[in-house]
Chains A and B, each alone.
Chain A
Amino acid sequence: MEYPYYPGCTLKTTGKKDEEAALEVAKLLEFELKELPTWTCCGVVYNLTSDVMADHLSATRTLIRAQEMGRELKTNKLVTLCSMCYNVLKQVNLMYKKNPDKLNNINLFMDTEEDYLGNVEIMHFLEVLYKDIGLEKIKEKVKTPLTNLKVDPYYGCMLLRPKNIAFDDQDAPHVMGDILSALGAKVIENPMTVECCGAHQIITNKEAVLDCVQRIVKTSQSKGADVIVTPCPLCQYNLTTGQKSLFEKGKINHQTPVIYLSELLIISLSDNNENYLKDYKFIKDKLEERGG
């Protein structure tokens, strides 16, 4: 099955590793993510004002591109890897469903594009794995079971809030944990799994981010996690650099590695996972140490 795929700016720049791994995972699980032929930045945080429409333009253009490609591939789905892009696109889509006059307005303005009809279904990569592929298939394809590797699935905020875009339970989500269990890993329950990492405050107010990271990581470490797994590139960056600063300030006594979900999937599902195991030697060590 071929899905129209929207990468977003970050996955083409600092988050390249996530995209490479995810495209490989798709191949292993027998589906394909086809990138939209042209696309624009999603506009990052969804504009929460009731009057400004201009900030929704980028997302609307992406939805029109998905609509066009969807006709070719005979699907109305659009898959994203980045949590922020998922959040923006889905909120914009829902806003148009609730306000057809706003959709009309935007279609009128974008006179060089076809009209957006409002029918694209946005899915996050996790949803595709859970709903379309299924845990059974993932289990079948495991080559290196992550036996006894203690993983902490960290969602962050953008995948599950606000409620109307959440594809999993808002307070006790289980989709990522279920997928990681299917890979054989031992999933840790961290009550901070949906706590915000501080997001863009890393630029304007680093202290706020350090507070958040400390909260998340301390709980994770107290539960014995070997690695924190996240789908969002900004969370991965904040948690990694945040821990470095906290460690230098003596606020935490060791740094838990933070890895993309797609990379962990490759380690488990692929025959050629040597490069990844080289990058993440600690995983290889833990698996060997615990007889995995």
Chain B
Amino acid sequence: MVFTVSEKGLELRKNVEEISGQNIFQCYQCGKCSATCPVVDSMDMAPNKIIRFVQMGDLEVLDQNTFWVCAACFTCSARCPRSVDIAKIMEALRNVMLRNKQDFINIYSKEFIEKMIEEIPQMAIVAAIKKGVW
């Protein structure tokens, strides 16, 4: 079956590779990253599937919540047998969305302000904003 990547799909793949500095085709879909990811159960699409979609230039990948649920714990990158830094690929996908003016968090929303309760460690607030706002 012949599969042609769309213009936008090619652009997405190029962007992800540039921002992450990773060769997206180094992944051979062993699934170790998904097996080890601590938050995979909350993800729409497992990490290895996300990488497959990027390899295929499928823009549906940008609608998934995977990279927003990612906790940047680096376990996937530590386990990958091909030394692909999956954490960097997730960061690249977040950046593709953020740089397109699509913030994940609105820091002035009622939900967010309510979270600023006294007990929440500062580092969580700054991390959430860094990952979710451009």
Contacts and interface: CB of A to CB of B under 8 A. Distances in A.
B132 interface: yes
Contacts, number: 139
A205 B73 contact: no
State the main secondary structure of chain B at its contact with A.
Answer: helix
Interface in A181-207: 194-196, 198-205, 207
Interface string B79-91: 0000001011001
Interface string B42-58: 10000000000000000
A161 B123 contact: no
Contact of B20 (A13, A41, A50, A200): A50
B21 interface: yes
State the main secondary structure of chain A at its contact with B.
Answer: loop
B11 interface: no
Contacts of A203: 112, 115, 120, 124-125, 128
Interface string B106-120: 000000100100111
Contact of B74 (A8, A43, A157, A241): A157
Nearest to B22: A50
A199 B120 CA distance: 11
Contacts of A9: 122-123, 126
Nearest to B89: A48
A116 B66 CA distance: 37
Contacts of A194: 75
Contacts of A202: 120, 124
Interface residues of A, number: 43
Contact of A161 (B78, B105, B125, B128): B78
Nearest to A161: B74
A212 interface: yes
A170 B19 contact: no
A87 B107 CA distance: 25
B128 A170 contact: no
A104 interface: no
B41 A14 contact: no
Given A84-B127, A212-B71, 15 more contacts: A10-B123, A13-B122, A14-B121, A41-B122, A45-B130, A45-B131, A48-B88, A49-B95, A51-B18, A157-B71, A196-B38, A198-B38, A203-B125, A234-B121, A234-B123
Interface of A: 8-10, 13-15, 41, 43-45, 47-51, 55, 82, 84, 157, 161-163, 170, 194-196, 198-205, 207-208, 211-212, 215, 233-234, 237, 241
